[in-house]
A and B are shown apart, each in its own frame.
Chain A
Amino acid sequence: GENVEQHPSTLSVQEGDSAVIKCTYSDSASNYFPWYKQELGKRPQLIIDIRSNVGEKKDQRIAVTLNKTAKHFSLHITETQPEDSAVYFCAASKTGNQFYFGTGTSLTVIP
């Protein structure tokens, strides 16, 4: 099956700085890559996703890039704010009904 690795496991940044989280995947057939944000004690929620026919996608302060050749994708958060503090999970899917998740990155934004 697919193997998704995520780094770093923890990340601390000063408010206003940028944060980057990286994921690699093993199955070249994977074609859908979502990112989920999970606040403490809450359910994961989708924040952005990208499909394999696109190299980059932006939504305000959040962007995701995909390098299919290297089989890695990254989440970029600019102008970080304290409310960005959460655990972020990447995932990969090739079938649309099985999602393989990374182990999560705990992001802390220091005011």
Chain B
Amino acid sequence: NAGVTQTPKFRILKIGQSMTLQCTQDMNHNYMYWYRQDPGMGLKLIYYSVGAGITDKGEVPNGYNVSRSTTEDFPLRLELAAPSQTSVYFCASSYPQTGELFFGEGSRLTVL
């Protein structure tokens, strides 16, 4: 099992550009999540999904969009990138029964 795989690992964007962070998991987990991690701020939930075709907003959804067309994939779309979106992004997945989050390696995004 590869677990949770995120791409790209690093990206620099200019203000106003758009991009998609890819996330895929091979553990057949129902639940998937996107978090952002800023220094001293912990992990903040952006969006989550409890299954294919179902997505919901987390704590900080503004400026992002997601889709969940398959169990395996949960891409995060940034439209009109802003400096405030400079962060490390983590995708995660879990079984609903156990609750343990399995994280990807993270994607460091810088918006200049």
A interface with B by C-beta (< 8 Å): 1, 6, 9, 32, 34, 36, 42-46, 49, 89, 91, 93, 96-104
Chain B interface size, as a band, is 20 to 34
CB of B34 closer than 8 Å to a CB of A: no
Given contact pairs A9-B40, A99-B101, a sample of 13 additional A-B residue pairs in the complex whose CB atoms are under 8 Å apart: A42-B105, A43-B103, A49-B100, A91-B43, A96-B96, A97-B31, A99-B43, A100-B59, A101-B44, A102-B42, A103-B41, A103-B42, A104-B40
A residues less than 8 Å from B101 (CB atoms): 34, 36, 44, 46, 99
Chain B 34-56: CB-based contact to A (< 8 A → 1; otherwise 0): 01000011111100101000000
Q: How far is the CB of A12 from chain B (nearest CB, A)?
A: 17
Chain B 8-36: CB-based contact to A (< 8 A → 1; otherwise 0): 00000000000000000000000101010
A residues less than 8 Å from B59 (CB atoms): 1, 100
Q: How far is the CB of A25 from chain B (nearest CB, A)?
A: 13
B interface with A by C-beta (< 8 Å): 31, 33, 35, 40-45, 48, 50, 58-59, 90, 94, 96, 99-101, 103-106
Please, how many angstroms separate the alpha-carbon atoms of A98 and B50 in the complex?
Answer: 10
Q: How far is the CB of A65 from chain B (nearest CB, A)?
A: 18
Q: Is the CB of A46 within 8 A of B100?
A: yes
Partner of A104, one of B31, B42, B48, B58: B42
A1-B59, A103-B41, A103-B42 are contacts. A97–B103 as well, Cβ < 8 Å?
A: no
Q: Is the CB of A43 within 8 A of B105?
A: yes
Report the nearest B residue to A106, measured CB to CB: B40
Most buried by A among B33, B58, B90, B101: B101
Q: Can you list 9 residue pairs at the A/B interface with Cβ under 8 Å?
A: A6-B42, A9-B40, A89-B43, A93-B99, A97-B31, A99-B101, A100-B59, A103-B42, A104-B40
A1-B59, A43-B90, A43-B105 are contacts. A101–B43 as well, Cβ < 8 Å?
A: yes
Q: Is the CB of A96 within 8 A of B103?
A: no
B residues less than 8 Å from A44 (CB atoms): 43, 90, 101, 103
A residues less than 8 Å from B35 (CB atoms): 101
